[in-house]
Amino acid sequence: MPAAPPRTSSRRAVYDELRRRIITLDLAPGEPLSENELSAALGVSRTPVRESLILLQQEGLVQVFPKVGSFVSRVDPARVSDAQFLREAVELASLDDLPDTPDADVVERMRANLQEQQEAGGDMDRFFELDEAFHHDLLRLAGHERTWPTVSAAKGHLDRARHLGLQEKATTQGFLDEHRGIFDAVLENRHDEARALLREHLRGVFDDIESVRRHSPELFATNTGVAPRRKNVAVWG
C-alpha cells in the first residue's frame, strides 16, 4: 500500500486522502473500514477520521451499517450514470462557447498534456491525472473552468468506474487517440465533430463497466441495503 501522508489533524486533509484512496481503488469496493486502523495509518485521532467517513457516506462512497461497521461502497452503476449525465451536459454545452481564436497558453498546455499522456505509458494513475487536466482545460478554453470543481465533486462513482476501466485495458493509447481527435477538431473549429467525438469518448465508460462487471461482479452494487459480513482484514498491511 502507498505510504501514509504527512501527519495532520486537519479533517479536510484526512477527507481528501481517504477520498483519493477510494477513488483510485487503493481502498477497494466492499473493503471494511476501521476507524482505529485508519487513524493509526494516517497518524491522526479518530475524530477527523469519523467526520471524514460521514462526509464520504453522504457522497455514497462509504456505507455504514449499525452494529456491523463501515465499508467502502461498491460501485453503483446508477450513480455512475447520473454523474456521467452531469459531466456530459456540462462539457458538451461548453463547446458552444468556444472562441474562434482559443487562448494560446491553454492550447500549448493541452499540447504538452497530450505529450505527457503519451509518455505516461502504463502508469495508469498518472494518465488519470493528465486525463482530468485535459478535460479541465477543455472547459477553460470555453471560459467555464469554474464549473470543474462542481463536476469533479459529483463524480466519485464515475471516477472509480474510470479507474476500473483503465485497469481493464492493457494500454491507454485508445484514450489518447480520442483526446487528440477532440483537440484537433476544437482547434480547427469543427465544433459539431468535436461534440460528437467528446460524447462518444465520455460514454465509453459504460462499455468499460460492463466488461469489468462480467468477471468481477462483486465490485458493483446490487442490493445496497444489505449489510456485508465484516472480516478481520487490515486496511493497510
Tens-level pLDDT at each residue, the chain (237 residues): 444 544 444 889 999 999 999 999 999 999 999 999 999 999 999 999 999 999 999 999 999 988 889 999 999 999 999 999 999 999 999 999 999 899 999 999 999 999 999 999 889 999 999 999 999 999 999 999 999 999 999 999 999 999 999 988 878 999 999 999 999 999 999 999 999 999 999 999 999 999 999 999 999 998 655 555 544 433 333
pLDDT value at residue 75: 95
Instruction: Give me the residue spans of the domains in the chain.
Output: 11-74, 77-217
pLDDT value at residue 11: 86
pLDDT value at residue 67: 84
Task: Please report the DSSP string for 38-70 in residue order.
Answer: HHHHHTS-HHHHHHHHHHHHHTTSEEEETTTEE
Q: Supply 117's cell numbers.
A: 499522456
Give CA torsion, residues 21, 27, 29, 32, to 10 deg.
Answer: -130
Contact in structure between 59 and 24 (CB atoms under 8 Å):
no
Contact in structure between 193 and 138 (CB atoms under 8 Å):
no
| Paired strand residues for 62 | 72
Residues 6+ apart with CB under 8 A from 68: 227, 228, 229, 230
CA distances from 62 to 58, 114, 169, 228 (A): 8, 34, 27, 13
pLDDT value at residue 223: 61
pLDDT value at residue 8: 46
Measured CA to CA, the distance from residue 120 to residue 99 in angstroms comes to 30
Question: CATH 1.10.510.10: does it fit domain 11-74?
Answer: no
Measured CA to CA, the distance from residue 127 to residue 105 in angstroms comes to 21
Contact in structure between 144 and 90 (CB atoms under 8 Å):
yes
Q: What angle do CA 34, 39, 42 make, to 5 degrees?
A: 120
pTM for the predicted model, two decimal places: 0.85
CA distances from 73 to 62, 184, 221, 222, 228 (A): 5, 38, 8, 11, 10
pLDDT value at residue 103: 96
Return the number of other C-beta atoms located less than 10 Å from residue 193's C-beta: 15
Measured CA to CA, the distance from residue 26 to residue 236 in angstroms comes to 10
CATH architecture, domain 77-217: Up-down Bundle (1.20)
pLDDT value at residue 122: 86
Closest CA to 206 of 71, 88, 61, 73: 88
